[in-house]
Amino acid sequence: MSKDAPLTVAVTGAGVVGLCAALEVQRAGHHVLLIEPGEPGGRQAASYGNATWINPGAIVPISLPGLWRKVPGFLLDRTGPFTVRWRDLPRHAGWLARFVAAGRDWDRIAICARHRYPLCKETVTDHQAYATEAGVGHLIRQQGLVYVYPDRAAFAAERRIWAMRRELGVRFSEIEEAELRRLQPELSPTYRFGARLDGAGQIADPGAYCAALAQLLEARGARRIVARATGFSLDGGRLSAVTTDQGPVACQRAVLAAGIGSAGLARLAGDHVPLISERGYHVVIPEPGVELGAGLMPSDGQMGIVSTPQGLRLAGQVELADPAAAPDWRRAKRFDAAEIDRWMGNRPSTPDGLPCIGFASGSPDIVHAFGHAHTGLTQAPATGKLVAALIDGREPPFDPTPYSARRFAR
């Protein structure tokens, strides 16, 4: 709880990151204004369509050593787990160069993993607490997550990644074929070895969860404003309002958590962040005839496979493309039945595998909280706690320096 007079804090964006930040700011005793043009938990949000995982082991960025050799394949294979649309290559070339450079050696990956870990470490415990407060504790499932491989050799090929997890204290168990068959009898015989992240879990219905958090905020006094943030009213770097398409919203502090829309707002706050859409896809198969306990990640598919109340969800993969471009459903061509639900969303991604969290360069009254790419669900609670501490002037729970947007100005 803040020792000073309560502030009025506008949170721009009601995705899971914005909602967790709003809850923590509210918990600190401040008045929250939640600015969001859509319905919290709606299909328009990246928070709606993820793989549902909350994963303490989500410490490794996508860009890894040797990735540059695969770039031609990304351009040629439009349905692979990582693809780049040809027509968007010129506008994404600078981002891609930074992306490849960020993963050029394992020392850099280890540093990135150490910075990501504080954002992931307590995710299951924190989400369970939020869900309980919001009356949706049943949405949190804590049965672990299983990465499945053709054999132990394929697992050993990723030994550096698993070693990093072990060194940071992420618990996992190796699973031989017999145990894998017992845990998931329907699993294809192609997969004969697994590694289970024992402390991980899932939020069975992220959309319903986000809607419940928004309702909790409002029940505790937050005010939701249906509008799209367009900028900031600043005088000498001090904030007086967030401007929106429905008029100004007076406030003393602002949290920028507008997902893919954050880059333009960040520029107005003094920071030029290379943020692009890491577009994610999912399909949901209703009544699939199989119920998964733990979520699955096939090593050759790079997608999360999970059971949800709506059916079996296959989610993930990466497509770098213009946010406004039409979805490319060729990657889901095997799922053409009318009853299959298909979704595509824009995940805001920086090239170095870290989000932007911290004070804006142009104002000490604006705090960034965006750029979490495909791990926003996992990293949202820790981001919210860090944001609230910064706004409140308290000692942060961990060092915010690695996440500063100023790193892109160097």
pLDDT in tens, 300-338: 877 899 999 999 999 877 788 888 888 888 776 666 666
> Does residue 101 register a pLDDT over 90?
yes
Q: Rounded CA gap, 347 and 355, in Å?
A: 12
User: Which pLDDT value is given to residue 91?
Assistant: 87
Mean pLDDT of 95-116: 95
What domains does the chain contain, in order, with CATH numbers?
A: 8-48+208-274+353-408 (3.50.50.60), 66-110+138-200+275-349 (3.30.9.10)
Q: Are 61 and 112 in contact (CB under 8 A)?
A: yes
Residue 159 structure tokens = 């030994």
pLDDT of residue 372: 97
pLDDT for 75 equals 60
Lowest mean pLDDT among 198-212, 230-244, 277-291: 277-291
| Nearest-angstrom CA–CA distance, 287 and 193 | 27
- Residues 112, 296, 173: CA angle, nearest 5 degrees: 70
Kindly state the average pLDDT of the residues 14-30.
Answer: 98
| Chain centroid to CA 77 | 25
CA nearest neighbour of 244 among 1, 13, 6, 7: 13
- CA distances, 142 to each of 25, 201, 204 (Å): 27, 4, 10
Write the pLDDT tens digit of every residue in 266-303: 999 999 999 999 888 899 999 888 889 899 999 887 78
Q: What is the pLDDT of residue 74?
A: 61
Per-residue model confidence (pLDDT) at position 320: 84
Question: Cα torsion for 158, 57, 45, 299, to the nearest 10°?
Answer: 30
Q: Which two tokens stand for residue 386?
A: 């860090």
- Answer left, alpha or beta for residue 317, where phi above 0 means left and psi between -120 and 50 means alpha: left
Q: Work out the number of other CB atoms within 10 angstroms of the CB of residue 4.
A: 9
Query: Does the pLDDT at position 387 exceed 90?
Result: yes
User: Looking at residue 376, what is its pLDDT?
Assistant: 96
User: What's this model's pTM, rounded to 2 decimal places?
Assistant: 0.95
Average pLDDT, the chain: 93
> Would you say residue 116 has pLDDT above 70?
yes
pLDDT value of position 408: 96
Distance of alpha carbon 166 from alpha carbon 151, whole angstroms: 20
CA dist 210 and 23 (Å) reads 12
Residue 322 DSSP class: -
- Check residue 316 and give its pLDDT: 78
DSSP summary character for residue 164: H
Of the pLDDT bands very low, low, confident and very high (cuts 50, 70, 90), residue 197 is very high
Report the C-alpha gap between 52 and 19 in whole angstroms.
16
Residue with tokens 């990501």: 116
Average confidence (pLDDT) over 210-239: 98
Encode pLDDT of 42-98 as tens digits.
999 999 999 999 999 999 998 999 876 766 666 666 666 677 877 888 888 899 899
Question: In terms of Cα–Cα distance, which of 24, 13, 247 is closest to 127?
Answer: 24
